[in-house]
A and B are shown apart, each in its own frame.
Chain A
Amino acid sequence: MTKIGLEIHCQLTKLASKLFCSCKAEYRNLEPNSNICPVCAGLPGSLPLLNKKAVEKATMISLALGCTIPEKIGFFRKNYFYPDLPKNFQITQYNAYGPTSIGSDGKIEIEGKTIRIRRIQLEEDPGRLVYEGTSEKTMITLIDYNRAGTPLVEIVTEPDFETPKQVRVFLNVLADLVENIGVSDPYLEGAMRVDGNISEGDGNRVEIKNVGSFRDIEKALHFEITRQQSLVERGITVQAETRHWDEARRITVSARSKEEEQDYRYLPEADIPIVLIEHHSIEQIKMQMPESIVARRERYVKKYGLPPQVSDVLSSDKFYSDLFDKAHNEKNAKEVSNIITTDLMGFADTREKKLELKITPKHITDLADSIMTNKLTRNSGKTALQEMVKTGKSLADVISSLDLGHVSDVGSIEKIIDEVFKEEEKAVSEAKQNPDTINYLVGKVMKKTKGKADPTTTLGILRKKLSA
Chain B
Amino acid sequence: MNLGISAVEFVSQAKEGVISVEEFVAKTLDRIKKVDEKIHAFITVDAQNALDKARTIDKKIKSKEKIGSCFGMPLSIKDNICTEGIKTTCASKMLENFVAPYDATVISRLKLEDAIIIGKANLDEFAMGSTTEFSYFGPTRNPWNLEYVPGGSSGGSGASVAAYECLASLGSDTGGSVRSPASFCSVVGLKPTYGLISRYGLVSYANSIEQVGPIAKTVEDVAFLLNIISGHDPHDNTTANNGYVDYVQDLKHGISGKKIGIISQMIGEGVDKEVASATNTAISKLQNLGAECIPISLDAIEHSVAAYYTIASAEASSNLARYDNLRYGFDFGIEGYEFKAFVSKARSNFGPEVTRRMLLGAFVLSAGYYGKYYLKAQKVRAMIKAQLDEAFKKVDYLISPTMPILPFKVGEKIDDPLKLYLTDINTITANLSGIPAISVPFSMSSSGLPIGIQLFANSFKEKELLQAAHVLQETSNLPEISL
For residue B322, which residues in chain A have a CB less than 8 angstroms away from its CB?
42, 44, 86-88
A41 in the interface (beta carbon within 8 A): yes
Q: Is the CB of A45 within 8 A of B365?
A: no
Cross-interface CB contact of A44 among B88, B314, B317, B340, cutoff 8 Å: B88
The 25 listed contacts between A and B (C-beta, < 8 Å) are A38-B100, A38-B101, A42-B322, A43-B102, A44-B88, A44-B98, A44-B204, A45-B88, A45-B100, A45-B204, A47-B200, A47-B238, A49-B237, A79-B365, A81-B340, A86-B327, A88-B324, A263-B366, A265-B318, A266-B370, A267-B315, A270-B207, A272-B237, A273-B237, A273-B238
Leading 9 A-B pairs by shortest Cβ distance: A270-B208, A88-B321, A265-B365, A45-B82, A45-B201, A44-B203, A87-B322, A263-B367, A45-B203
**How far, in angstroms, from A373 to B379 measured CA to CA in the complex?**
77
For residue A38, which residues in chain B have a CB less than 8 angstroms away from its CB?
100-102
Q: A interface vs B, CB < 8 Å?
A: 38, 41-50, 77, 79, 81-83, 86-89, 97, 141, 143, 263, 265-268, 270-273
Minimum Cβ distance to chain A for residue B134 (Å):
18
Q: Which of B82, B201, B237 has the most CB of A within 10 A?
A: B237
Minimum Cβ distance to chain A for residue B342 (Å):
9
Q: Is the CB of B238 within 8 A of A267?
A: no
Cross-interface CB contact of A83 among B237, B326, B366, cutoff 8 Å: B326
Cross-interface CB contact of A265 among B90, B236, B339, B366, cutoff 8 Å: B366
> How many chain B residues have a CB neighbour from A under 8 Å?
43
Q: Which residue of B lies closest to A21 (CB)?
A: B235
A271 and B321 contact, Cβ closer than 8 Å, known pairs A47-B199, A265-B366? no
B104 in the interface (beta carbon within 8 A): yes
Minimum Cβ distance to chain A for residue B89 (Å):
10
For residue B317, which residues in chain A have a CB less than 8 angstroms away from its CB?
79, 265
Q: Is the CB of A271 within 8 A of B367?
A: no
Q: B interface vs A, CB < 8 Å?
A: 81-82, 88, 90, 95, 98, 100-102, 104, 199-204, 207-208, 234-238, 314-315, 317-318, 321-322, 324, 326-328, 339-340, 343, 362, 365-367, 370, 374-375
For residue B201, which residues in chain A have a CB less than 8 angstroms away from its CB?
45-46
**How far, in angstroms, from A265 to B366 measured CA to CA in the complex?**
5
For residue A266, which residues in chain B have a CB less than 8 angstroms away from its CB?
365, 370
Minimum Cβ distance to chain A for residue B426 (Å):
24
For residue A79, which residues in chain B have a CB less than 8 angstroms away from its CB?
317-318, 321, 365
**How far, in angstroms, from A97 to B81 measured CA to CA in the complex?**
33
Cross-interface CB contact of A47 among B208, B235, B318, B321, cutoff 8 Å: B235
For residue A88, which residues in chain B have a CB less than 8 angstroms away from its CB?
321-322, 324
Interface majority SS on B: helix, strand, loop or mixed? loop
**How far, in angstroms, from A268 to B101 measured CA to CA in the complex?**
28
Cross-interface CB contact of A271 among B88, B238, B370, cutoff 8 Å: B238
Q: Is the CB of A265 within 8 A of B362?
A: yes
For residue A49, which residues in chain B have a CB less than 8 angstroms away from its CB?
234-235, 237
Knowing that A47-B236, A47-B238, A265-B365 touch, tell me 7 more A-B residue pairs with CB under 8 angstroms.
Answer: A42-B322, A44-B82, A45-B201, A49-B234, A81-B321, A270-B208, A273-B237
**How far, in angstroms, from A271 to B206 measured CA to CA in the complex?**
10
Minimum Cβ distance to chain B for residue A51 (Å):
11
Q: Is the CB of B339 within 8 A of A87?
A: no
Q: Which residue of A lies closest to B347 (CB)?
A: A81
**How far, in angstroms, from A49 to B88 measured CA to CA in the complex?**
23
Q: Which residue of A lies closest to B208 (CB)?
A: A270
Interface majority SS on A: helix, strand, loop or mixed? loop
For residue A42, which residues in chain B have a CB less than 8 angstroms away from its CB?
322, 327
For residue A265, which residues in chain B have a CB less than 8 angstroms away from its CB?
317-318, 362, 365-367
Minimum Cβ distance to chain B for residue A130 (Å):
15
For residue A270, which residues in chain B have a CB less than 8 angstroms away from its CB?
207-208, 238, 315
**How far, in angstroms, from A272 to B234 measured CA to CA in the complex?**
12
Q: Is the CB of A45 within 8 A of B237?
A: no
Q: Is the CB of B200 within 8 A of A50?
A: no
Q: Which residue of A lies closest to B378 (CB)?
A: A268
Minimum Cβ distance to chain B for residue A290 (Å):
31
**How far, in angstroms, from A50 to B322 measured CA to CA in the complex?**
20
A77 and B237 contact, Cβ closer than 8 Å, known pairs A44-B98, A44-B100? no
Minimum Cβ distance to chain B for residue A72 (Å):
15
For residue A141, which residues in chain B have a CB less than 8 angstroms away from its CB?
339
A267 and B318 contact, Cβ closer than 8 Å, known pairs A41-B327, A44-B95? yes
Q: Which of A38, A41, A45, A49 has the most CB of B within 10 A?
A: A45
Minimum Cβ distance to chain B for residue A37 (Å):
9
For residue A87, which residues in chain B have a CB less than 8 angstroms away from its CB?
321-322
Minimum Cβ distance to chain B for residue A38 (Å):
6
Q: Which residue of B lies closest to A50 (CB)?
A: B237
**How far, in angstroms, from A48 to B362 measured CA to CA in the complex?**
22
Q: Is the CB of B321 within 8 A of A43?
A: no
**How far, in angstroms, from A296 to B193 measured CA to CA in the complex?**
53
**How far, in angstroms, from A41 to B147 measured CA to CA in the complex?**
42
Cross-interface CB contact of A77 among B236, B318, B327, cutoff 8 Å: B318
For residue A267, which residues in chain B have a CB less than 8 angstroms away from its CB?
314-315, 318, 365, 374
Q: Is the CB of B100 within 8 A of A43?
A: yes
**How far, in angstroms, from A56 to B367 measured CA to CA in the complex?**
32
